[in-house]
């Protein structure tokens, strides 16, 4: 078993002491691997990898536990815990992931530990979760409906993140990207009909949403979004370990 210990002070010293009180015994053992987590839910660069070096439980107070961690290595930069939440099985609240690490310490499995230390994340599930949970709730609900029609088993006991991501790309194409392209084509038609001097003053609605300005925003966002999707190639990832690990775990969809 591996551990994440919360540490509110700056962990720069060579050896780190973690003290806490609890009613039950601490089940950790000397030599087990450990990570530190700051109050900002960052995994710091100055002291990262460690091992449980000693566990002190005073005889007069069996519930007061002190753990000494010894330094083993470090990263070049601190790591936000948020980058790894789709590779940690216990996390089910993706917007409120911090509540899953509210205690002084938390257990993490070998696979989860390696995901953080080696940046060996469950990429298909991470891409899927990040995009879906960044979408507007109307699109989230619409995608779930779309998925239920296309492959209902993905929502009921047989989740496959790679296949679900394929359906997500198709949904984004027909529900977001294609309509945006149609708006651009309409603007181009408008350019041929309206003088340039008047085009910049045309607006939609009471808030003066100028058509020319909105078209530029759509063009920029469309190019950025397509660029991101085009760079994602799931075929080069080997996630067989994660597929077994997350078997029967629902897709990472959290409706706002």
Q: pLDDT tens, 89-120?
A: 999 999 999 999 988 888 999 999 999 988 89
- Quick one: what percent of the chain has pLDDT higher than 90? 34
Length of the chain: 256
pTM: 0.81
Cα of first residue to Cα of last residue in the chain, in angstroms, is 34
Best-predicted range by mean pLDDT (10-19, 55-64, 140-149)? 140-149
Compute the half-sphere exposure of residue 119: CA atoms within 13 Å on the CB side of its CA: 6
CA distances from 256 to 90, 93, 144 (A): 19, 11, 13
The model's confidence at residue 40, banded by pLDDT at 50, 70 and 90, is confident
Residues 6+ apart with CB under 8 A from 150: 167
Specify whether the backbone of 196 is left (phi greater than 0), alpha (psi in -120 to 50) or beta: alpha
Q: Which of 34-38, 41-45, 120-124, 204-208 has the lowest mean pLDDT?
A: 204-208
Give me the sheet containing 105-108, strands edge to edge: 15-21, 64-73, 49-56, 33-37, 2-6, 105-108
Best-predicted range by mean pLDDT (2-11, 26-35, 191-200)? 26-35
pLDDT at 208 over 60: no
* Torsion, Cα of 82, 85, 88, 92 (10° steps): 130
Q: How far apart are CA 177 and CA 221, in angstroms?
A: 10
| Residue 210 β-bridge partners | 203
Q: What mean pLDDT is predicted for residues 209-227? A: 68
- In our burial notation (b when 16+ CB lie closer than 10 A, e otherwise), range 144-168 reads bebbeeebeebeeeebbbbbbbbbb
Continuous H helices in the chain: 110-117, 123-134, 137-150, 161-172, 178-193, 196-199, 211-231, 240-245
pLDDT at 78 over 70: yes
């Amino acid at each position: 078993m591996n551990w994440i210990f919360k540490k509110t002070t700056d962990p720069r010293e060579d050896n780190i002491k973690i003290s806490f009180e609890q009613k039950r015994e601490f089940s950790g053992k000397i030599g087990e691997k450990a990570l530190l987590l700051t109050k900002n839910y960052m995994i710091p660069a100055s002291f990262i990898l460690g091992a449980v070096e000693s566990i002190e439980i005073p005889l007069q107070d069996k519930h007061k536990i002190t753990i000494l961690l010894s330094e083993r290595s470090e990263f070049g930069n601190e790591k936000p815990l948020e980058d790894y939440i789709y590779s940690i099985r216990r996390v089910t609240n993706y917007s409120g992931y911090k509540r899953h690490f509210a205690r002084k310490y938390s257990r993490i499995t070998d696979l989860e530990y390696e995901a953080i230390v080696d940046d060996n994340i469950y990429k298909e599930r991470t891409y899927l979760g990040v995009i879906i949970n960044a979408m507007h709730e109307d699109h989230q609900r619409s995608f779930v409906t779309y998925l239920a029609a296309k492959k209902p088993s993905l929502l009921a006991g047989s989740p496959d993140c790679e296949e679900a991501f394929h359906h997500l790309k198709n949904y984004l194409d027909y529900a977001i990207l294609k309509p945006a392209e149609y708006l651009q084509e309409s603007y181009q038609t408008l350019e041929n009909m309206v003088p340039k001097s008047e085009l910049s003053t045309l607006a939609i609605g009471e808030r003066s949403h100028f058509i020319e300005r909105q078209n530029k925003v759509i063009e920029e966002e469309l190019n950025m979004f397509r660029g991101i999707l085009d760079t994602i190639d799931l075929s080069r990832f080997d996630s067989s370990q994660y597929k077994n690990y997350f078997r029967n775990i629902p897709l990472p969809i959290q409706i706002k």
